[in-house]
Structure 1
Amino acid sequence: MVFREKNSRGTFKPHLSIKFRSIEGELVTFSIDTTRTPAKYQQPDAYLITHAHSDHHGKSAMLSDRAVCSEKTAIALEIRHDRKYAGRTFKVGETIEVSGVKVHTFPNFHTVGSVAFMWENEVGTRILVTGDVKDASMLPECDLLITEANYGDPGDTTCYFDDDLEGFENAFRDNSSIAFGAYAFGKAQRAVELLRGFGYDGVIEMEDQSLSLTRTLLEDAGELEYLGNCCGDSISIVPPWDLDKLPSHISKFVMTGRSDYRYPAIQISDHLDARGLVDMVKNIDPEFTVVYHPNGHRPGRFAKHLDSIGFNALSIDKIENVLSNEFV
């Protein structure tokens, strides 16, 4: 049973949970990318955390000894939230046992350490939770797919894009002093990987949290320095809202698909676009799909589109199975 849980205020907790019987016939509950259930209520058997972005609620779940995430996701959570991760960890790609259930993990290339989880119930139904996905090439076929729709509205032209890698490369080659606006977790590490991949071996300056995350999570990050510690021309990576704080002579770009920043945007995304999401579902070929993320209208529109092309689908707002903390 896929269900949503209400908290003590009568409002929905984020995302969802899955109750199923294990191969041994035991009743098990996994909560997916959600906040913790208060300690006085019955706990799920595990809080599965796909990655460390705040809209997947690891800040709350990381404090439970029932939390499960990759080693690098745990590190990212600790750096981002200055809290000790209390759960268990694994290396991306490993198979682990959680409450007697064999859980397989797969890279989805959304952020450093992000994963998809898959397991089987007592009748062999394969359940796959993707998290957010940038590259679905390593995700397996399944029977029940639980996935995202960040850019899943086929009727929205902004949900169709290709990464502008050429524009990114030209920007840093054409400017001796340049800054990229990129979120501290995820996009900043992607920017460093791209720069090194294009052959840049100089110093990259970063603000505190971006630097700490990148040094810890990337194995081949090269020479990194705190912002302002480097002499001469260099490349800087800062959060988009900090670009205004940099000297005016520095050329500034934002790594985003949005158009509401004052600086030129370079389309670099950590997500599949609408075409990629549809292709992912076709390749995984599930019997049923639940679209659980993000908030807003896109899960419903993506589920509706999947239905129209022959894939049974349901969005999170249509899930009728609801448990209240008063009864859990």
Structure 2
Amino acid sequence: MPQQLIDMGVLAFRQTNSRGGFKPHLSLRFMSDEGRPVIFSIDTTRTPNKCIQPDAYLITHAHSDHNGKSAMLSERALCSSKTAQALEIRYGKEYKGMSMGVCDAFEFSGVTVRTFPTGHTPGSTAFYWENEVGTRILVTGDVKDYSMLPKCDVLITEANYGDPGDTSCYFEDDIESLRQLVKDNSCAALGAYAFGKAQRVVELVRLLGYGDAIEMEAQSLELTRCMLDNPGDVVGLGEAGGNTLCVVPPWDLGRLPWHTLKYVLSGRSDFRYPSIQISDHLDVRGLTDMVRRIDPQFTVVYHPGGHRPGKFAAHLNCLGLDAISIDKIRNVLSNDFI
């Protein structure tokens, strides 16, 4: 563990699971203003009762790789009200934790926590707080828009597209192709993941002037109606009588009539249908600009798995921005810390 983090009163650590491997993502231990040790676990699964329990499970958003399906069942869970609602819709279980607004402030375990939007999904939330010695800590989860994120001393962030040596990590949203599709083809199907991307698509096509009904697969429809304030006329598949725009998960495109124009809204190239680049993430340039703007003394890159956290941390270090990736964090919590 870098001495620099410890000097700022922060211990980043990972806990082991029942199989001897590491639980997903990581936890932070620090002292509250009241001088009490506090543990916040970030986007991780619940800890067995026989182990040291965190004070809170921070859930940045409701995508499955951020493990809200597990953490939502704990009374110690913290997330935005929209994230809690999305978790309940996606997994059919009651959210048992505490929820709050985005751009909110609240007290938890003697810590004043503030929330900020990240633009990744409806309700996606960054968490910000200070420890006993005044170190400003910011946990972002995945980010699309960092314009409202505050400066901090310790940044915990993602690297979904953080490999500067990978050409797929450089992209811009192709709004013009989507605009042309909406203008020329009212009868087309767009492949978009049910949570996050489907709602972004609805927002975008409405901004581009599409006012007719949009047919959607059942869960995409429920999430869109609950997550968006004004989605317009969105209905179930087949309810608009055809000749309309349709939004379904990418794997459902093949179930639609063969004559329907089909596109996947993704930067990936391994789908059988042509793609239009619409991303819910920053590319490597955006991630780098975000770190520079937020200006932390130290960055911990914790998401996703694989090599990209290490690649992005190395990239930041080459730029003179001190960073470490989650695969370098091997600590098991020591009761002697602080």
Quote how far apart the aligned CAs of 1:8 are: 2.4
Q: What are the Cα deviations for residues 251-283 of structure 1, in whole angstroms up to 9, with x where unaligned?
A: 111000011111110000000000000000000
Deviates more, 1:35-44 or 1:90-99: 35-44
Specify the alignment match of 1:175 in structure 2.
185
What code does the residue aligned with 1:315 have? S
Specify the alignment match of 1:146 in structure 2.
156
Alignment of 1:316-327 (within 5 A): 316-323=326-333
Specify the alignment match of 2:5 in structure 1.
none
Specify the alignment match of 2:119 in structure 1.
109
Quote how far apart the aligned CAs of 1:7 are: 1.5
Q: What are the Cα deviations for residues 151-175 of structure 1, in whole angstroms up to 9, with x where unaligned?
A: 0001111100000000011112111
- What residue ranges of structure 1 are gaps of 5+ in the alignment? none
What code does the residue aligned with 1:153 have? D
SS of structure 1 residue aligned to 2:14 = strand
- Of 190, 199, 206, 2:200 maps to 190
Specify the alignment match of 1:226 in structure 2.
236
What code does the residue aligned with 2:32 have? S
Alignment of 1:72-91 (within 5 A): 72-91=82-101
- Of 120, 134, 138, 1:124 maps to 134
Quote how far apart the aligned CAs of 1:42 are: 2.8
Off by >3 Å, runs of 4+ in structure 1: none
- Of 163, 180, 196, 2:173 maps to 163
TM-score by length of 1: 0.97
Deviates more, 1:180-189 or 1:193-202: 193-202
CA contact (8 A) 2:189 2:246 kept: yes
Specify the alignment match of 1:266 in structure 2.
276
Specify the alignment match of 2:58 in structure 1.
48
SS of structure 2 residue aligned to 1:282 = helix
- Count of residues in correspondence between the two structures: 324
Quote how far apart the aligned CAs of 1:176 are: 3.0
- What residue ranges of structure 2 are gaps of 5+ in the alignment? 1-10
Is 2:32 the counterpart of 1:19?
Answer: no
CA contact (8 A) 1:48 1:68 kept: yes
Quote how far apart the aligned CAs of 1:248 are: 1.4
Deviates more, 1:57-66 or 1:193-202: 193-202
How far apart are the structure 2 equivalents of 1:182 and 1:103? 33
Specify the alignment match of 2:67 in structure 1.
57
SS of structure 2 residue aligned to 1:169 = helix
What code does the residue aligned with 2:178 have? F
SS of structure 2 residue aligned to 1:225 = strand
CA contact (8 A) 1:31 1:47 kept: yes
How far apart are the structure 2 equivalents of 1:84 and 1:227? 27
How far apart are the structure 1 equivalents of 2:249 and 2:163? 27
Q: Could you say what the CA RMSD is over the residues aligned between the two structures, in angstroms?
A: 0.9
CA contact (8 A) 1:201 1:222 kept: yes
CA contact (8 A) 1:6 1:323 kept: no
Q: What are the Cα deviations for residues 203-249 of structure 1, in whole angstroms up to 9, with x where unaligned?
A: 00001100000001101101111101211411100000100110112
CA contact (8 A) 1:22 1:122 kept: yes
Q: Percent identity?
A: 67
